[in-house]
Every structure is written in C-alpha cells, then in structure tokens.
Structure 1
Amino acid sequence: MRETDRLILRPWRVSDAVIQHELWTERDPRVPPHRRLSADGHPSVTDLKERIRTGSQPGLLAVELRSTGEVIGYCGVIPRDGSDEPELAYELLQRFWGQGYATEATRAVIGSVRDHQRLWASVRDWNTASRRVLAKLGFVETGQVEPDAVHGNSLLTVLEL
C-alpha cells in the first residue's frame, strides 16, 4: 500500500471489478483488441471479479481518492517481457484525467521501486497525455519503437533510478 496527499494505492478488492470494467469500456479504439472489451462483452464484471479473487494482476494497485474512497484507476509495476527489470503501468478513468492524479500515483510507485537500476514504460505514440506524464517523471524515450500501423507505434521509455 502507498499513500500520497490525495491518493491511496492499495490491493484490488473484488468490489472494484466494476471500476476495472469501466476502464475497459473507456479505452481508445486504437488500443489493441486484447486490451478492449470483445464484441460479446468480455471480460465481464464477473470475469474481472475472478481475476481479482485469484490474484492474476500482481503489481497493479487500485488508485483510490483519499477524500472520497472512490477508485479512479490503477498504477503499479509489472514484469517487463524478456527482462528482470520492472515496467510501470497505469490507467485512470477519463473523468479524472488532467488533475495530476496519474503523475502523483506514478511518483508514489516509483518511490517504492527498489533493487533495480531502471524502470521501463511503453506508451503508444498517439498517447500524448501519458507521454507528458512520463516526461514529467523523468522517463526518456529510448528510440526503440515497436511498429504497429494499426494501433500506433509503441515507444519504449526508461527512467534511471
């Protein structure tokens, strides 16, 4: 668990599945299909409850407003494919964008990363808001790009710790 002036970052509760589902429904249509709701509505709230119950999302914490207890998204570190170094991941409900919550939550997570020299983050080239958050935190674009003509290129960024 992590705390900031305005936020509490805590493990997911089964009751938070509704918020996770809302995040899935709000995703930009350019996001790859495996990260969006399928045509038949999966993952459903029931699917997401089961994922929370079984702990299949290690490293990602619910981001909760201290003032209201409302969950507004997630933030955390996940294993980076092909590396023993962690990758930052975060997503907030759209109604909470532009209020500094993503920067605040990610700073709290970065402060908890120990025993690593670097923290990575990948971001779609069209996601200017996330690119600004990462730049504020000191992440630098590496020049490594995973091309994707359909969903937008993924840019690899790194923060030296």
Structure 2
Amino acid sequence: MTSSALAKLPLPEPTGRLRLRLPKLKDARFYLALLNEPDYIRFITDTKVRTIRTAEAFIKVRSLPRFEKYGTGLWVVERLDTGEPIGICGLIVREELDCPDLGYAFLAAQHGKGYAREAAGAAIAFAREIMKLDRLCAIIDPDNERSAKLLTDLGFIRDGQRRLESIGSVSDYFEKPLSACACGEAGQ
C-alpha cells in the first residue's frame, strides 16, 4: 500500500481533547520515549528501540505494515490543542485471536488524565461503526491492575488467560461485545 493509500484509510473521530492518526517517521522521537517508558517495558514488551534510527525502523517495519495489511493498527494519540503526541491506541489484528485486540500505551506524564479512556472510546467506536465488528478483545499483563480497571470500566469482561506465541507469555484476556445493546454504554 502506498503512502497515498495509507492516507485514505478511515480514522477514528476526534474526541473532545484528542485525535488518533497514523504514525509518521517524524514521530520517531516520541516513539523512542514511549517504547522506553518503564511501564511499557514492564507491561508490554522491551522493543529494544534505543535510538532515533531504530524508532524510525519500528514505525516503518512494525507500525505502518499493520495498517497496510489490516487497515488498522495503533494510531498515534495527540492532543487537539497542541498537536503533541502523548500515546498510542488502536486495534491490533493478531492471528492467534478471534477478534481485534484493543491496545494502548501512554507516556507516564500523561497518566491519570483520562486520555487512555478517551482514546480507547474512540477506537471502540471505530471498531463498531467503521469496521462493523461485533466484539473486541484486549490482552494485558496479569500484573497490570490499572489497565484491568480501565478495561472493566469500558465494559470489557475478563475471560481467563491466554498464552499467545507471538507474545511469548500468558496474558489476562478480556472481551467486549459491540452489539446494539452495548452501544448505549457511557464513555463509548
């Protein structure tokens, strides 16, 4: 898919404070900071991205190809008022799962401001309204209590654990129905 084709992909609607957009190579400095946050390494993975050059490669090789292949991935979350990138959020298609996985990560300085909830709500609406999905899942590290609470607040239901070979560890598994009866939930 060409960059012009990528630019034509639908995006989630902006929220009151945030825009979710495709990653760009100019986001490398932001990715370098995010991927080296202690919580990112602890709860998601250590990508071994340590330089601007490896951050650019991460965007080219890991982020953009998901959009090219599936039409979705982890969008960069930026503040509407400043354009500052503060996190990533989106839908990850994993061969090992029956439905897309809601994923998100934010810079530590942005925690506790409701940004993850707001961005996740936009991604959920995109899944329901644009992708016409009937359910989403989410996988998190079993020790990530903050994410477990957020997912529960967003209407996800814990459904045991899954071991995904692509991750190489056991994750807590959550699922959320996106049917018409789930559309009226607050914050969605």
Please name the residue that 1:4 is paired with.
15
Per-residue CA distance 1:28-82 (angstroms, 9 max, x = gap): 35347xx2154xxx35321221343452343110000011110001001011232
Give the direction of change, closer, same or farther, for the CA distance of 1:66–1:22 in structure 2 (3 Å limit). same
After superposition, where does 1:41-52 map in structure 2 within 5 Å? 42-52=49-59
Shift of 1:156: 0.3
Letter in structure 1 aligned against 2:65? S
CA RMSD of aligned residues (A): 2.3
After superposition, where does 1:20-35 map in structure 2 within 5 Å? 20-28=31-39, 30-31=42-43, 35=45
User: Is the 1:30–1:152 Cα contact (8 Å) retained in structure 2?
Assistant: no
Aligned equivalents of 1:83 and 1:123: distance in 2?
14
Q: Does residue 1:88 correspond to 2:102, yes or no?
A: yes
Aligned equivalents of 1:9 and 1:51: distance in 2?
18
Shift of 1:115: 2.9
Greater strand proportion: 1
Q: How many residues align?
A: 153
Please name the residue that 1:104 is paired with.
118
Letter in structure 1 aligned against 2:175? V
Letter in structure 1 aligned against 2:106? L
Farther-moved stretch of structure 1 (18-27 vs 93-102): 18-27
- Fraction of identical pairs, as percent: 33
Aligned equivalents of 1:48 and 1:26: distance in 2?
14
Per-residue CA distance 1:76-96 (angstroms, 9 max, x = gap): 101123245211110000000
Structure 2, unpaired ranges of 5+? 1-10, 68-72, 179-188
Shift of 1:117: 1.9
User: Is the 1:26–1:93 Cα contact (8 Å) retained in structure 2?
Assistant: yes
Q: Does residue 1:131 correspond to 2:131, yes or no?
A: no
Instruction: Specify the SS of the correspondent of 1:89.
Output: strand
Shift of 1:153: 4.8
Please name the residue that 1:119 is paired with.
136
Aligned equivalents of 2:133 and 2:33: distance in 1?
33
Instruction: Specify the SS of the correspondent of 2:36.
Output: helix
Shift of 1:122: 0.4
Please name the residue that 2:4 is paired with.
none
Letter in structure 2 aligned against 1:90? Y
Farther-moved stretch of structure 1 (52-61 vs 69-78): 52-61
Structure 1, unpaired ranges of 5+? none
